[in-house]
């Protein structure tokens, strides 16, 4: 179920003196999935909710008093990407099948959202983000091969990666939410490098397909950087003032999501590697 504690985000000047434990408590979410459970965390980042559903039997999205509404999606929209076995979602009774790495968009006003696995022995794992909305767009799904793909970086710099855009201005239409995932090529370990910030929206990363590898997630103001060691299926919260990039011991994937002032994916402020401290 939903955690009653909100992830409040410290100010940049507060991060300078934080311990490892304080950084992890403020900016990391672990254990997002539990077999047969739906879990969720409310954050102070653009009021985004981060969650995971791993159904062994159908799991319905519950409401929570923190929404202040009669049902969870009364004034919210939601996007989910399946990182497990094949599954389906029921949106007000309409079924949408969702293979691994498929995405579903669920609009504001949806009263009933149910997550299902095609096979409980190989359960689906729906990672989801939800944000406030003021307009409703049609429910829609998209497979990995249907997403807008862009390849960046180079093997020489160990940051060759492909960005798959699902919910964005040129793909599945939404009110505020932008969502997709990035996968690194074999032999590449750096993501989102050189780094950037974007004052107009926060961002949330969900790292997955790491296996037993570890990953260093870099964060903080560009001249006061900090790091968090992360592992498979953990979430990093990135405020607008913070860089967000990482380096792993092998290649991996991560889901990114935003819900700020605009839906312009390239609206970011780059930081040169020589300017990092």
CA 202 to chain centre: 11
Return the pLDDT at 264.
80
Q: What is the DSSP letter of 24?
A: H
Mean pLDDT of the chain: 96
Average pLDDT over residues 93-119: 98
Least confident of 1-5, 59-63, 220-224: 1-5
When pLDDT is cut at 50, 70 and 90, the band that residue 267 belongs to is confident
When pLDDT is cut at 50, 70 and 90, the band that residue 206 belongs to is very high
Return the pLDDT at 4.
87
When pLDDT is cut at 50, 70 and 90, the band that residue 81 belongs to is very high
| Position 105 pLDDT exceeds 90 | yes
Return the pLDDT at 216.
98
Residues 6+ apart with CB under 8 A from 173: 105, 137, 138, 140
Per-residue pLDDT reduced to its tens digit, 232-262: 999 999 999 999 999 999 999 999 999 988 7
For residue 124, give both structure tokens.
């689906």
Choose which CATH entry (1.10.150.110, 1.20.58.220, 2.60.120.10, 1.20.120.350) describes domain 12-275: 2.60.120.10
Per-residue pLDDT reduced to its tens digit, 139-176: 999 999 999 999 999 999 999 999 999 999 999 999 99
Nearest to 258 by CA among 7, 50, 10, 27: 50
| Position 268 pLDDT exceeds 90 | no
Return the pLDDT at 260.
81
| Position 1 pLDDT exceeds 90 | no
Do 55 and 124 meet the contact criterion of CB atoms below 8 Å apart? yes
Per-residue pLDDT reduced to its tens digit, 180-205: 999 999 999 999 998 989 888 999 99
Q: Is the dihedral of CA 87, 235, 230, 251 positive or negative?
A: positive
Cis peptide before 194 (omega within 30 of 0): yes
């Amino acid at each position: 179920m939903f955690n009653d504690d909100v992830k409040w985000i410290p100010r940049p000047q507060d991060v300078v003196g934080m311990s490892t434990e304080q950084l992890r408590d403020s900016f990391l979410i672990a254990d997002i999935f539990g077999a047969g459970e739906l879990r969720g965390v409310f954050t102070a980042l653009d009021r985004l909710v981060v969650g995971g559903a791993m159904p062994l039997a159908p799991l319905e999205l519950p409401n929570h008093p923190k929404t202040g509404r009669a049902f969870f999606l009364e004034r919210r929209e939601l996007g989910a990407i399946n990182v497990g076995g094949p599954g389906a979602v029921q949106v007000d009774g309409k079924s949408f099948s969702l293979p691994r790495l498929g995405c579903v968009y669920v609009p504001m006003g949806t009263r009933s959202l149910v997550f299902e696995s095609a096979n409980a022995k190989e359960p689906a794992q729906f990672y989801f983000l939800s944000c406030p909305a003021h307009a409703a767009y049609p429910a829609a799904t998209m497979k990995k091969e249907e997403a807008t793909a862009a390849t960046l970086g180079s093997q020489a710099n160990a940051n060759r990666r492909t960005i798959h855009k699902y919910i964005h201005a040129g793909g599945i239409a939404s009110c505020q939410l932008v969502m997709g995932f990035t996968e690194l090529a074999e032999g590449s370990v750096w993501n989102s490098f050189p780094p950037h910030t974007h004052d107009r929206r926060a961002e949330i990363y969900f790292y997955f397909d790491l296996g037993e590898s570890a990953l260093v997630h870099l964060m903080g103001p560009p001249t006061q950087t900090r790091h968090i060691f992360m592992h498979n299926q953990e979430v990093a919260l990135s405020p607008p003032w913070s860089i967000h990039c990482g380096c792993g011991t092998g290649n991996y994937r991560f889901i990114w999501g935003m819900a700020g002032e605009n839906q312009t994916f390239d609206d970011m402020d780059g930081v040169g590697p020589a300017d990092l401290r």
